Amino acid sequence: MTMNLRHRHGDLLALAAGLALPLAFAPFGLFPLAIAAPALLLWLWRGATPRRALWRGALFGAGLFGVGVNWVHVSIHVYGHSSLAVAIGLAALLAAYLALFPALTGWLYARLFPRGGRLAELAAFPALWVLGEWLRGWLFTGFPWLWLGYSQTDTPLGQLAPLTGVLGVSWACALSAALLLILFRGPHATPRLAAAMGVTVLWAASALIGRVEWTEPAGAPVEVALLQGNVDQDLKWSAEERRGIIDRYLELTRQNWDRPVIIWPETALPAFRHQVPKTLEELDAEAKSHGAGVLVGLPVMEADQRYYNSLLAVGDGDGLYRKRHLVPFGDYLPLAGLLRGLINFFDLPMSSFSAGAPDQPPLRVNGLTLAPSVCYEIAFPDEVRSLLPAAQVLVNVSNDAWFGTSIGPHQHFQIARMRALETERWLLRATNTGITAIVDHRGRVQRLAPQFQTGALTGSAEPRAGATPFVRTGTLPVVTAALLLLLAAWAGARRLRSRPPRPRPVPAPERPMEIPD
């Protein structure tokens, strides 16, 4: 019955598993699906040919990314002023590209382990999954969205993050999926019992690891104000609206001079630094008079006409940070000579940013040492950790107005929370329309501003010192371990295949019945 179901409806089930998986992430939070969906896919790969496994992986990826990143069409259609058909088409192209990674994972799994078995499921499958996620987060500047581990920010498995980083949490999810499959589909009682014990030990150990404090307080909590201007994206770069937008942020700042640290969102100041020197000078002087430091998000143009998406510290602060990791088709346009002018989305204002240097120092504001990241950069764990352990607090500024009321900003915020959990640093997140929040060093939300409202989120953040194991080592140990385990599993599977089958014992011939005389 199950074999027939897998054979006749396997493709449909693979697509359904992919369609369900985005529900494991924010804003839905159905985290068990991050175990169940990969477990179903692994079952569908059992005994499949490499071609069939590739196809089912592609269908799974089409469902996952077709739903999980469909929010990109909002920026293309609503704010890029392209037709809905063009927006949906470009979003579908992105989903199709991303679906290649689970497709490749499926092909490799079936090619290297044609007989499957528990060795393949418990060792190779999690390793291949992690390597596939890592490759997707690196190739062509990377797109590390919807890694399995992000779904676990509020679960025991998420507590592995300070030790292994988010990829280690993804590994734990994939291993849990393999154990779950054995638990429900194992042919004998002994493997099922072992799988149940394995799941229990894995989750219990993760919870116990979560009790370890890898860092320590480095001073008293500091009062902060995170500004949310709620500026409509269509008006943001309008010359007629510029003065009003600047005044809005200045007024929000002046209402919070009692806070020693004030943070504006990404490009909150909608003009180049050299276009508003008087505004910045006055803000600098006023901040100093109140003993406050202000981080201002703005574009900065250099003498060579290159410009950068930046964070500038004024008042009681020091430093200028230039965004290092740019978003293709957002911060800059690849093959601009060929693509610019083809559709409206390729002609967005401020879409020719240059990348800042990779080795920039932390920012300093009112005695705090801050590790800044701008928007999309928060999705790259090794880049965030590069400013640690020197930095005491993480700062992320963003403008998710591009994605409206979609699920995109919620996924982005969950990713940001994982960085706080990995590094055991408080996170201050200031955004234009939300999600603006204060997150503690355990990834827990302490204060949250309502989306699409103008205001300032106030609260405090605790500076921390020290380094988690992940901050010291990064993702390299997890990726290396996955590769070594995959090779070991493959070698073991080959040895088993090449071993001649054991001869069946030949029963002793029956002695002829003796008939008494």
So which residues are the catalytic ones?
Answer: 266, 323, 375
Question: Please, what is the end-to-end C-alpha distance for the chain in angstroms?
Answer: 59
Q: Which residues contact 68 (CB under 8 A, 6 or more apart)?
A: 21, 22, 25, 145, 146, 407, 411
Pick from 398, 329, 401, 403: nearest CA to 74: 403
* 328 DSSP assignment: B
Structural tokens at position 136: 């997707």
Count of alpha carbons within 13 angstroms of residue 342, beta-carbon side = 11
Q: Is the dihedral of CA 473, 476, 481, 484 positive or negative?
A: negative
Q: What is the β-pairing status of strands 393-398 and 426-431? A: parallel
Strand intervals (E) in 272-391: 293-301, 307-315, 317-318, 320-322, 363-365, 368-374
Run of H or E residues at 421 = helix 408-423
Q: Are 371 and 402 in contact (CB under 8 A)?
A: no
Other beta carbons within 10 angstroms of residue 481's beta carbon come to 15
Of 42, 43, 94, nearest to 64 by C-alpha is 94
Q: Rounded to whole angstroms, how far apart are CA atoms 5 and 14?
A: 12
Alpha-carbon gap, residue 145 to 333, rounded angstroms: 20
Cβ atoms 490, 113 nearer than 8 A = yes
Q: What is the DSSP letter of 378?
A: G
What angle is formed at CA 373 by the lines to CA 371 and CA 374, rounded to 5 degrees? 155
**Cα pseudo-dihedral 53, 58, 63, 65, rounded to 10:** 130
* Beta-strand relationship, 464-465 and 368-374: unpaired
